[in-house]
Amino acid sequence: MSGFFKSSIGRKVAMALSAFFLMFFLLQHFAINILSVFSADTFNEVSHFMGTNPLIQYVLQPVLIFGVVFHFVMGFVLEIKNKKARQVAYVKNNGTANSSWMSRNMIWSGLAILAFIVLHFIDFWFPEINTKFIQGDWSGMHEGVEGYRYFHELQEKFVSPIRVGAYVLAFIFLALHLLHGFTSAFQSMGYTAMHKKTLQNIGKAYAIIIPLGFIFIAIYHHFNHIH
Ligand code: HEM
């Protein structure tokens, strides 16, 4: 089994499996975040549940963090192996002839997403870990804030136009990454000709709708901030 994951195809399958997992996470992350546009109370309730449920905190969250790290590390490994396999650079890399711009630049769109994740963790995740695990405050309350604090904290983050701009840019890179990544992951798992067109269409829809939805959330909160 470990031999399989050391082979070139094994690595691609492992990459695809982690990609599916992250795409599923992204879908649920979007489903929860979009609630903040419709109802502050519902968003607060769901966030509090997610943030305090032991199964989510102690099992799913570590699995997610492992998935994120694994995907990035494996992405770099695949990129380096691919470059090595092609020791002699093409005399003329006529890329568009047989591969898309997106597919040749997965490492760059991936790096842009990695930079976003760092910023995003500084914004949301580290303060959350600090409040709960270091200060030991699991109440979800904050002085001067009525009800749970989650909606208030989310709104605060989208006041700065610079941060909103950085988020929007990152979501565009996310769309580019997913536009190739979605169908590529299915191909690595062996889905080919028969489902190709349908898969490409679902992939395109996912890669455009989800990042656009995130862009909408960021811009919505920027313009609807309650002081
Ligand atoms: C407008 C868009 C987004 C908002 C408002 C948002 C909001 C949040 C919030 C509030 C948390 C903290 C959850 C907690 O730990 O209590 C979080 C965590 C996280 N976000 Fe986002 N997010 C957005 C987009 C994204 C995108 C596009 C990605 C991936 C590319 C992403 C990846 C993550 C990850 C990996 C975590 C840590 C997961 C965890 O809670 O353990 N987020 N986000």
- What torsion, rounded to 10 degrees, do the Cα atoms 116, 58, 130, 70 define? -30
Query: pLDDT tens for residues 153-207?
Result: 999 999 999 999 999 999 999 999 999 999 899 888 887 666 778 888 999 999 9
Residue 72 within a domain? yes
Instruction: Report the nearest atom of ligand 1 relative to the CA of 210.
Output: 27
Residue 29 within a domain? yes
Question: Rg of the Cα trace of the chain?
Answer: 20
Q: How many domains does the chain have?
A: 1
CB 222 within 8 A of CB 164: yes
Q: What is the pLDDT of residue 199?
A: 85
Residue 136 within a domain? yes
CA gap 8, 5 in Å, rounded: 8
Residue 36 within a domain? yes
Residue 92 within a domain? no
Q: To test ligand 1's pocket by mutation, which of 44, 69, 125 has the most ligand atoms within 8 angstroms of CB?
A: 125
Residue 117 within a domain? yes
Query: pLDDT tens for residues 128-162?
Result: 999 999 999 999 999 889 999 999 999 999 999 99
Q: What is the CATH classification number for the domain harbouring 74?
A: 1.20.1300
CA gap 186, 192 in Å, rounded: 8
Residue 98 within a domain? no
Domain span at 19: 2-86+104-223
Residue 120 within a domain? yes
- Distance between Cα 105 and ligand 1 center (Å): 24
For the entire predicted model, the pTM comes to 0.91
CB-CB neighbours of 33 under 10 Å? 18
Take atom 20 of ligand 1 and give the residue whose Cα is closest. 120
Using alpha carbons, select from 4, 60, 70 the residue that is nearest to residue 29: 60
Using alpha carbons, select from 6, 13, 55 the residue that is nearest to residue 191: 13
φ, ψ of residue 93 in degrees (nearest 5): -80, 85
